[in-house]
Structure 1
């Protein structure tokens, strides 16, 4: 499993503790220093079945600073993927890629249903 997180994020820490408590092994990747590529994001978006908007960290400073709430609806999917790939802090975290499953954000019940 690939676990993408921001080490200073409290939700990411909770998710990491949850993974460890359940004995699940993973590869840790700092989303800020090694942000996902456009191709990775495209693949994960397709696997997740989620709307692309769910991949955006809508509560982040970057999201607000760029005014993305108003800009995203007018952008194509490719433009959104390209934008996400420019800055890991724009990406909703934590992000867990487990085989064919992609979990965006930490919701304990959803993670338990998908992984246990």
Structure 2
């Protein structure tokens, strides 16, 4: 089973959905805006791919944070921020069995 995490109006999510559909792969979509994300899931992902891979520090949500929130980022603070602002999580996050894929890469999706 494939599960995709993201925000439905994101262009990268749309590309990822199209890539999976083109291959005829079924997937479940988890909408951060509607369903949120819990710290336990983020901790599990961080243990596999690292918090720096998950935290999008180039997006508008990051840029709108106060200087205090951006200071001294570590895994615990990153998880806290991603729980409060799930749009700060790089998109998409694809869970395929026990494997985590962060971001959209056509070559990686072609191998699924």
Q: TM-score, normalised by structure 1?
A: 0.83
> SS where residue 57 of structure 1 aligns?
coil
Equivalent pairs counted in the alignment come to: 110
Tell whether the 8 Å contact from 1:2 to 1:97 is kept in structure 2 after alignment.
yes
Q: What is the CA-CA distance between 1:94 and the residue it aligns to?
A: 1.0
Partner of 2:50: 51
Partner of 1:30: 31
Deviation string 1:41-91 (CA, Å, 9 cap, x unpaired) is: 1112223xx3311212233211111157x935x233112112111121111
Q: Is the 8 A contact 1:33 1:88 kept in 2?
A: no
4+ runs deviating over 4 angstroms: none
Answer yes or no: is the 8 Å Cα contact 1:95–1:103 preserved in 2.
yes
Q: Distance in 1 between the 2:61 and 2:102 partners?
A: 18
Q: Which residue is 1:89 aligned to?
A: 87
Aligned to 1:101: 99
Conservation of the 8 A alpha-carbon contact between 1:35 and 1:85: yes
Task: Work out the CA distance in 2 between the residues paired with 1:105 and 1:35.
Answer: 18
* CA-CA distance at 1:97 after TM superposition: 0.8
SS in structure 1 of the partner of residue 107 of structure 2 = helix
Structure 1 unaligned regions, length at least 5: none
Q: Could you tell me how far apart the structure 2 residues matched to 1:44 and 1:18 are?
A: 23
Q: 1:20 corresponds to which residue?
A: 21
